[in-house]
């Protein structure tokens, strides 16, 4: 049995899809959904599905004992809208076992401050013809780890950040659970 922890700070639509994807899987189990935001919608998504939740403060994120305790027995950490930098001790303990999803084609439109609608606004502003999703391993820099998967869609002349966000989100929901499954199987 391989155990996944999902770390998320927001609504958790990706987390919900991931939890649903692995329900009943005899080999892969979402063991915990952990958040640094005690009002995050992702916690409700977990409770609804009977998945254990954990909450930690932004200070506790840097406390080795607390975090390693919380993540004890975890094989893969999935970041699904987690808005904080991962501390070095976690990167070391979970080397090549932390995966993130970004709503653009990295290395473009990534880095600090590039999240949510800001990404899609920037894509439109730059006149990009294509956008998409990137699923990548996590290292010490925002959005710079090894790319595992990308999928692109055209940006239409009539697109707004909101319309783009909707289409990109659909891609995320479709691919993230499958790529996680592949990654877990390779561990
Ligand atoms: C997604 O767009 C993901 O690419 C980014 O954060 C967002 C999380 O959305 N890292 P949700 O909370 O899963 O709906």
Contacts of 37 (CB under 8 A, 6+ apart): 9, 10, 55
Q: Is the CB of 101 under 6 A from ligand 1?
A: yes
Position 106 scores a pLDDT of 97
pTM of the model: 0.96
pLDDT at residue 141, as a whole number: 83
Closest-lying ligand 1 atom to the alpha carbon of residue 9: 12
Q: How many residues does the chain have?
A: 187
Read off the tokens for 118: 């800001």
Which residue's CA lies nearest to atom 14 of ligand 1?
13
Which of 30, 12, 18, 49 is closest to 178 using CA atoms? 18
Q: Which residues of 52-90 are buried (b: 16+ CB within 10 A; e: fewer)?
A: ebbebeeeebbeeeebeebbeebbbbbbbbbbeebeeeb
Catalytic residue among 21, 62, 72, 102: 102
pLDDT attached to residue 171: 98
Closest ligand 1 atom to 116 CA: 2
Element (H, E) at 122: helix 117-125
The predicted structure's pLDDT at residue 47: 98
21 is catalytic: no
**Res 142: pLDDT:** 78
Q: Tell me, which fold does domain 2-185 have in CATH?
A: Rossmann fold (3.40.50)
Q: What is the SS3 assignment for 55?
A: strand
pLDDT at position 51: 98
CA 144 – CA 123 distance, rounded (Å)? 18
The pLDDT value recorded for residue 88 is: 96
Residue 143, pLDDT score: 84
pLDDT at position 112: 87
- The domain spans of the chain are 2-185
Does residue 12's CB lie within 6 angstroms of at least one atom of ligand 1?
yes
What distances in angstroms separate CA 121 from CA 41, 94, 97, 139, 177, one per listed residue? 24, 33, 31, 26, 26
Point out the residues of the chain with pLDDT beneath 50. none
Contact criterion met (CB below 8 Å) for 1 and 22? no
Which segments within 36-106 are labelled E, that is strand?
A: 53-55, 76-79, 98-102
Q: Which residue has the tokens 């869609």?
A: 153
Q: Ligand 1 within 6 A of 53 CB? A: no
* Segment 127-157, tens digit of pLDDT: 999 999 999 999 888 788 999 999 999 999 9
């Amino acid at each position: 049995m391989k155990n996944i922890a999902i770390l998320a700070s927001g609504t958790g639509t990706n987390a919900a899809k991931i939890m649903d994807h692995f329900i009943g899987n005899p080999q892969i189990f979402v063991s915990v959904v952990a958040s640094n935001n005690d009002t995050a919608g992702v916690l409700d998504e977990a409770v609804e599905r009977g998945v254990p939740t954990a909450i930690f403060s932004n200070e506790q994120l840097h406390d080795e004992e607390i975090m390693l305790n919380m993540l004890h027995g975890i094989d893969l950490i999935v970041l699904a809208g987690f808005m904080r930098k991962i501390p070095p001790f976690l990167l070391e303990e979970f080397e090549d076992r932390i995966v993130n999803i970004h709503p653009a084609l990295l290395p473009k439109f990534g880095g600090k401050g590039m999240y949510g609608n800001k990404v899609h606004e920037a894509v439109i502003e730059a006149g990009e013809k294509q956008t998409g999703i990137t699923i990548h391993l996590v290292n010490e820099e925002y959005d710079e780890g090894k790319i595992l998967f990308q999928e692109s869609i055209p940006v239409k002349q009539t697109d707004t950040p909101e319309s783009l966000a909707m289409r990109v989100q659909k891609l995320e929901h479709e691919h993230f659970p499958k790529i996680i499954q592949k990654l877990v199987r390779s561990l």
